[in-house]
Structure 1
Amino acid sequence: MRFTRTSKALGIVAIAALALTGCGAGGGSNNGGGDAAGDPNKIITAYSNEPQNPLLPADTGEVYGGRVVELLFEGLTVYNPNGESENALAESIESPDGQNYTIKVKSGTKFTNGEEVTAKSFVDAWNFAALSTNAQTNSSFFESIEGYDAVSAVKKQGETEVPAPTAETLSGLVLKDDYTIEVKLSQPEADWPLRLGYSAFMPLPSEAIKDPKAFGENPIGNGPYKMAKEGAWQHDSQIELVKNPDYKGSREAKNGGVTFKFYTDPAPAYTDIQGNNLDVTDVLPTNALKTYTTDFPENHLNKPYAGNSTLNIPGYLKEFQGEAGKLRRQAISMAIDREEITKVIYSGTRIPANDFTSPSVGGYNDNVAGSEVTKFDAAKAKEAWDKANEISPWPANKVLQLAYNTDGGNKEWIDAVANNLKNNLGIKAEGQAFAKFAELLDLRKSKTLPGLARAGWQADYPSLYNFLGPLLGTGASSNYEGYSNPEFDKLLKEGLGAKSTDDANAKFTQAQEILFQDLPNIPLWYAARQVVWSENVANVDTGWNGVIQYYNITAK
């Protein structure tokens, strides 16, 4: 069989049902200005917060850094608003067998420093990202390429020390000429090209490899925007981007730039939108979920997207280890009244989750074996908790802390979950607040949280695997809580190597059955994106993954 990558959807499914079950406004949008051309030179201001890491594509794994990186860089492919993958800098991506790929890179495109984007720009960037000594957050996205084990250093189950890499480059990644890359995967994976639009696979200019620290502060990309000036990243304040006049891709900017303003609380941002002092925000204070459609009758949208929310339980907490730990995980899940929280706190803009993925992605299964633990049952929850105490008593007077970030508007639902746990399990529970999402991520990454942590996932590419592998595979990029199960890893690998999408999704469903036995994360609800904007702008919308299409926003 011959695989050719041009334009093909491999994941997104109809989401009308999700919209009709409570996502307001029919899950649709109101762009508040239609086809207004606006002022193409005006700078748009948008809600954000301090990125966790320097702005290197392979070191950016959270939303606030991601929204900047995605505007600064363009890769081999790009995802259109419907989640379909289309060639961008790739002339072609071909494979005779799903394991050996030949990628032709378009000639004539440049980084904003004038350096041409060539095949070497990708090969060097991928090797840099995969090499464990470079400590890039998204290094595990290259695990499918032959030779990854030699350049990575992942501490696997039973190992006491992290092994050193035995190679500096991926053996399956070969630079053939200025515009040709050959890639050999460790096994056939017909949907591997689908990942190439994610930021981890972006190209880098040569100076990024020479001095990644300096580059991360003032990145040079090839996307629709560029950094406004040296020092455009004013830490804990804002990041200023301006239009890249040389960009000719499908995301050409319709405004003069985007300045991301940093907030640690969505309430002041909401007020700023009302006063036309901020142009757009995708994070609303919880109390505004009841009023945003009337506060902004012409300037709001509400759309489901490929994302979810979970409550993560660190594997290093002794109270959640062994048989007693499994019972406690089940008890916590059954003690949470998802229906009430999504109705009362979220005003129906969320849907209770019954799996670890999203209904917005192809292959979603609403009846995974073991998913009954996501159903609210106070009696069964208390019974499981008491059984756990018979095995290993919960420490007297211990307070179960639930870590969350205030810049994401999470306090109200965290308080509701804490009350559920107190009332239904008879324990002390409370929220642990952090002003910045980056602070919470750093503690999760260093494995120093004293309790549980709220987490959310916005899909990188439209696939069930993206909700499982990067989050829960052994040593994966976003597996901060350190979960590891060899059988789960085995099913993920078998799914990636399946001959059809249906066969792959069947394996991923089996993998979820193991997750419901172990419950490393507790599924809470599926995501929908609410956005409001000022009277100064129009043509606001989000894509398949809930990200605002900043490049399409026009100034009135």
Structure 2
Amino acid sequence: MTDPTPTHTPATGDPIVVNSLDLPTEFDPTDTTDPYTTRIASLLQRGLFRYDAKGKSVPEVAQTVETTDDRVYRVTLAEGWRFSNGEPVTADSFVDAWSLAADPAHPRLRRDLFAPIEGFVPSADLQPTTSPATAPATPPPGSKDRPTGRSPRLAGLTVLDGRTFTITLSRPHPKFDQRLGHAVFAPLPDVAFTDPAGFRRAPVGNGPYQIEGAWTADGDLRLRPNAAYTAADPAQNAGLVFRPYSDPAAAWRDVEAGRLDVLDVVPTHELADYQGRFGERAVNQPVGVTLGLVVPAGAPHWSGEAGTARRAALSLAIDREALAREVFAGTRTVATDLAAPVVEGHSRDLCAELCRLDRDEALSLLAGAGPPPGGVSIAYADDLDEGPFARALCADLTSTLQVTCTPREYLTAQALAEAVDAGRESGPYLARHQMDYPQLESFLVPRFALGALTNDSGYADPATDAALTRAATATPPERIPRFQAVQKDILETLPVIPLVNVHATAVSSASVSGVRIDVFGSPGYTQIRRP
């Protein structure tokens, strides 16, 4: 195949144009699972650490984070950090930001990342009627009222001076500090508390970029280098333009024409030959993302013993090897557990019994449980280009189980998520899970802990929940085996049917260099340059 010839050539000094999905109407990285909002947040805001391309924690605002018992961490901030508006970054900036993100009065999707900190109110204990308009704040023991707009402080966070604070966990939690590179742990300036609506429209951060103009969900979102950032990961370009695409084919046409500099998701129909066409400017790289089939626990015909048997029948009817080869042209690998192969503790055989292809056993299980009335539907997000896979998956199920299988399209991943949250989508649906930090627990706790706000399947088992806590707080030699044991128990009922491990499939135009994809599947935006 020949290399695509661009019809548009950007000028030297132009910002780098990159793709995204549709963005939310306001900026709040604590209340979204959208990967692009999280990426943008990590460019606008920097916390104690950042992650390098391989997922290693690298100090940013932290000078030191020290512990002798894995329970009390003493944090000392490096000198000189400021927000883009000139305000200094202090220990209060962190403690107030974390307390806001974990506030039980206004539950946010990312609040469970703060669960190990003393005084955290578990999401499972929150009342269903809780809402920002009516729910009173419940200060943790020992907290004090904060100035206007600030949440009661978590009991486990104590400011010692302008550059020092301590984090006390409810129990020892080895490697807790490894999650602190996530964008939700970034500090916030005063305006985030005194004028939260204004902050969500025009974020102020301490990262290598700042917003140009205001946050927008309509059209291009522009970032420019932040002169106040003087740490080790500065912008090496004139800025970034995040251009949202709801049609993957349109993004592909733009990157071929040179109107788009970096595309980090190659359309499914182009996977067979994109590497030959783009050569060294093509990427096919394992990352910390999995694709599974979520079956909501309370959905009609999918609960109880019969529901478990039907889920097992679905799993055993799927030819994962053929789907990875024929639909994804070898840019996916067969899932063998609930985690991606990039993390320590991933197992090649943990789901061997239920993730294999066994058509006879699948038919036998379905015959015993009875087919779901009306057949099977597989919901998917069109902007993630999941249609070809959903159709191939349905063909597998129809052929093996002799049931009607119907792909059900949602135009965007956001629309599908909203339908699931509202209970309008009760059938199986395709869902990607991207790790928050590079550890096995990040594939398990957010999805299967009791009441976790990102537990989309509704999986609820007190024994499993207790086992997850024991695994998370175990000493390092015991952590991985304990998490694997919990995962084996979860897989017995298949609240999420593992399908494939996702690769980053990316291409870039000839007008940029330095494009690298990290372990999370994100381009290293600061390092992209124009020749």
Normalising by structure 2, report the TM-score. 0.92
Contact 1:331 1:382 in 2 (8 A): yes
Question: Contact 2:324–2:333 at 8 Å: present in 1 too?
Answer: yes
Q: Residue 483 of structure 2: which of 484, 488, 508 is its match?
A: 508
Q: CA deviation at 1:225?
A: 0.7
Letter in 2 for 1:385: L
Change (3 A) 1:522 1:52: farther
Aligned-pair CA distance for 1:216: 1.9
| Pair 1:79-2:60 in alignment | no
The question of 1:307 aligning with 2:282 is answered no
Aligned residues between the structures: 506
1: CA distance between counterparts of 2:161 and 2:115? Answer: 24
Contact 2:23 2:244 in 1 (8 A): no
What is the aligned counterpart of 2:262 among 266, 280, 301? 280
Identity over aligned residues, as a percent? Answer: 32
The structure 1 residue matched to 2:372, chosen from 394, 407, 419, is 394
The Cα of 1:382 is off from its aligned counterpart by 1.2
Q: Who is 1:349 aligned against?
A: 331
Which digits, 9 at most, give the CA deviation of each residue in 1:142-193, with x for residues without a partner?
A: 11001112xx55358xx98769763233111111111111111011012000
Q: Which amino acid in structure 2 is aligned with residue 420 of structure 1?
A: D
**Contact 1:40 1:256 (C-alpha < 8 Å) held by counterparts:** no
1:394 counterpart letter in structure 2: P
Q: Which amino acid aligns with 1:312?
A: V
Q: Match for residue 518 of structure 1?
A: 493
Aligned pair in 2 of structure 1 residues 183, 234: CA closer, same or farther (>3 Å)? Answer: closer
CA positional deviation for 1:362: 0.9
Indicate how the Cα distance of structure 1 residues 234 and 131 shifts in structure 2: closer, same or farther if over 3 A, else same.
closer
Partner of 2:83: 111
- Classify the secondary structure of the residue corresponding to 1:121: helix
Does the alignment pair 1:327 with 2:309? yes
Contact in 2 for aligned 1:402/1:452 (Cα 8 Å): yes
Residues in 1 aligned to 2:129 and 2:528: alpha-carbon distance in whole angstroms: 49
Distance in 1, Cα, partners of 2:227 & 2:173: 37
1:378 matched to 2:362? The reply is no
Task: Please name the residue that 1:435 is paired with.
Answer: 411
Deviations 1:478-535 (A, max 9, x none): 11222111121111111111111x3101110011111111211010111211111112
Q: Deviations over 1:11-67 (max 9, x none)?
A: xxxxxxxxxxxxxxxxxxxxxxxxxxx988420111112224632232232212112
Correspondence 1:109-148 to 2 at 5 A: 109-148=81-120
Q: 1:498 aligns with which of 465, 474, 482?
A: 474
Letter in 2 for 1:120: D
2:347 to 347, 365, 387: 365
Letter in 1 for 2:61: L
Worse-superposed segment, 128-137 or 342-351? 128-137
Tell me if the contact between 1:356 and 1:468 (Cα under 8 Å) persists in the aligned partners. Answer: yes
| Maintained 8 Å contact 1:79/1:86 | yes
Alignment-mate amino acid for residue 498 of structure 2 = P
Structure 1 residues 173 and 401 mapped into 2: Cα distance closer, same or farther (>3 Å)? same
Q: Distance in 2 between matches of 1:245 and 1:419?
A: 54
Does residue 49 of structure 1 match 2:27? no
Distance 1:541 1:188 in 2: 36
Task: Give CA deviations for 1:206-248 in whole Å, capped at 9, x if unaligned.
Answer: 1112333332222111111110113xx3324221111112212
Structure-2 separation of matches of 1:403 and 1:277? 32
Secondary structure at the aligned position of 2:321 is classed as helix
1:219 alignment partner in structure 2: 203
After superposition, the Cα gap between the structure-2 partners of 1:447 and 1:53, relative to the gap in structure 1 and judged at 3 Å, is farther
- Higher alpha-carbon deviation: 117-126 or 166-175: 166-175
Shift of residue 257 of structure 1?
0.9
**Secondary structure in structure 2 of the residue aligned to 1:67:** helix
Q: 2:69 aligns to what SS in structure 1?
A: coil
Letter paired with 2:185: F
Residue type at the aligned position of 1:511: V
Paired position in structure 2 for 1:67: 39
Show the 5 A alignment for 1:238-249: 238-249=220-231
Match among 423, 429, 435 for residue 399 of structure 2: 423
User: Does 1:479 find its partner at 2:463?
Assistant: no
**One-letter amino acid matched to 1:474:** L
Q: Is the 8 A contact 2:112 2:123 kept in 1?
A: no
Preserved CA contact (<8 Å) 2:25 2:217: no
Q: Distance in 1 between matches of 2:286 and 2:176?
A: 25
Measured after TM superposition, the shift of residue 300 of structure 1 is 1.1
Q: Tell me, in whole angstroms, the C-alpha distance in 2 between the residues paired with 1:273 and 1:94.
A: 46
Q: Check conservation: 2:22, 2:246, Cα contact below 8 A.
A: no
Aligned CA distance change for structure 1 residues 510 and 216 (closer, same or farther; 3 Å)? same
> Where does 1:198-213 land on structure 2 (aligned, <5 Å)?
198-213=182-197
Provide the TM-score with structure 1 as the length reference.
Answer: 0.87
Amino acid paired to 2:265? V
The DSSP-based 3-state class of the residue aligned with 1:330 is helix
Query: 1:281: Cα distance to partner?
Result: 0.4
Aligned-pair Cα RMSD in Å: 1.9
Q: Which residue number in structure 1 is paired with residue 512 of structure 2?
A: 537
Please report how far the alpha carbon of residue 343 of structure 1 lies from its aligned counterpart in structure 2 after TM superposition. Answer: 0.4
Distance 2:66 2:315 in 1: 45
- Structure 2 CA distance for aligned equivalents of residues 212 and 238 of structure 1: 23
Contact 2:219 2:244 in 1 (8 A): yes
Q: Which runs of 5+ in 1 are unaligned?
A: 1-37
SS in 1 for 2:118: coil
* Secondary structure of 1:134 counterpart: coil
* 8 Å contact from structure 1 (residues 153, 164) kept in 2: no
Q: Give the distance between the partners of 2:528 and 2:435, measured in 1 at CA.
A: 22
Post-superposition CA distance 1:338-360 (Å, at most 9, x none) = 00000001111111001001211
